[in-house]
Amino acid sequence: MKFSGVIPILVTPFNEDESIDADSIGKMIRLMQDIGVQGVTILGVLGEANRLSDAERELVISAAIQAAGQLPVIVGTSASGTRAVINHNKIAKNLGASAVMVTPQAEAVPSDEKVFNHFRSILSETDLPVVLQDHPASTGVHMPTNLIFKMLDELNGFCGVKLEAVPTAPKLRSLKTRYGEKLSVMTGLGALYGAFDLEAGSDGFNTGFAFPEALIALTKMAKKNDWGSIQDLYRRFLPLIVYEQHPGVAIRKELLKIRGAIRTARVRSPGAQGNASIQDTLDKLLQDAVPKQDLTRPIKI
């Protein structure tokens, strides 16, 4: 599992009755394949995994892996208990996943030692590569750089770090300075800080922004040190990136619906749904960012 390039985080599509829409999982992945991504991630922070039963999780994983073919699939397996994560990892392995993504879990009394032991147990009983996700906004856990260093130095099985601890660039630069090409560090947070992270050495994007084509172009520009073009493209898409960052997943789902990747933009209760105001704003933003293009196909940058 090479954790670099552009690996989108996919939403979990639902029918209007909130049942899993397996057909849309396939449509969404086929669009990603046509765009040319390096893999996909399912059941991430905005994949509504905490609203799924175990049986539904397995349905989503199976549908994604079947549709993906040779395209690597990373499965989010975070849970509040260490044994639960290990069990999720075994299921992901049995269903054909390429890797898993795991966050630390908040405890009543914060403890770096508990975070370390959580991952030590997980890695000792997991046969898949593990992506370490550092996302304090969702977990409530702030992992200091020295703790991440300690885990990477002493534990085997990590295939990369998804860095989403703001400010991202200084922490990213520290990791790349210490490990260089030995460690892959990817950018999340909807690409909100994408230009800054690329300049700090990011290996790409592992995030759910609805236009991975832009992220692929940014990554290629960074490899050529074409920072002027990066700023131009970043500014072009930044209003759309910022708007997609509204709490929840409704706006991202609306965009994927517009792109023909999912049938409905339904968010599972009690999540907020889209509305006419969101649609009007998206229409304006899309006119500015991707005018006169067929959004159901890979867009031209």
Model confidence over 219-239: pLDDT tens digits? 999 999 999 999 999 999 999
pLDDT band at 46 (very low <50, low <70, confident <90, very high): confident
Least Cα distance to 290 among 223, 184, 213 occurs for 213
pLDDT above 90: residue 65: yes
Instruction: Please report whether residue 204 resides in a domain.
Output: yes
Quickly tell me which residue has 């991504």 as its tokens: 37
**What is the tens place of the pLDDT at every residue in 131-185?**
999 999 999 999 999 999 999 999 999 999 999 999 999 999 999 999 999 999 9
Portion of the chain with pLDDT greater than 90, in percent: 98
pLDDT at position 87, please? Answer: 98
Q: What is the pLDDT of residue 18?
A: 97
Q: What mean pLDDT comes out for the span 201-223? A: 98
Report the alpha-carbon distance of residue 283 to residue 105 in Å, rounded.
38
The H or E element that residue 161 is part of is strand 158-163
Domain for residue 30, yes or no? yes
Distance CA 267, CA 18 (A): 8
Is 1's pLDDT higher than 80? no
What is residue 221's three-state secondary structure? Answer: helix
**Average pLDDT score over residue span 78-94:** 97
Name the DSSP letter for residue 42. E
What is d(CA 176, CA 154) in angstroms, rounded to the nearest whole number?
A: 17
Domain that holds residue 217: 5-230
Across the chain, mean pLDDT equals 97
From CA 14, how far away is CA 268, in angstroms rounded?
A: 7
Asked whether residue 299 is assigned to any structural domain, the reply reads no
| Interior angle at CA 66, CA 78 and CA 91, nearest 5 | 35
Our count of domains for the chain comes to: 1
Which pTM does this prediction carry? Answer: 0.97
For residue range 260-279, list pLDDT tens digits in order: 999 999 999 999 999 999 99
Q: Does residue 184 belong to any structural domain of this protein?
A: yes
C-alpha Rg value of the chain to the nearest Å: 18
| Domain presence at residue 296 | no
For residue 102, tell me if it sits in a domain. Answer: yes
Residue-level pLDDT at 198: 98
- Torsions phi, psi for 102 (to 5 deg): -135, 135
How confident is the model at residue 248, as a pLDDT?
A: 92
What value does the mean pLDDT take over residues 14-37?
Answer: 98
Question: Rounded to the nearest 10 degrees, how much is the dihedral formed by the CA atoms of 102, 16, 31, 297?
Answer: -140
pLDDT reported for residue 45:
82
Query: What integer pLDDT is reported at residue 159 of this predicted model?
Result: 97
- In the structure encoding, which two tokens stand for residue 150, read together? 């300690």
245 domain residue, yes or no: no
Please state, in angstroms and rounded to a whole number, the distance separating the CA atoms of residues 42 and 291. 29
The whole-number average pLDDT for the span 269-298 is 96
Q: What is the CATH number of the domain that holds 167?
A: 3.20.20.70
Given a cut of 90, whether residue 257 has pLDDT beyond it is: yes
Structural domain includes residue 75: yes
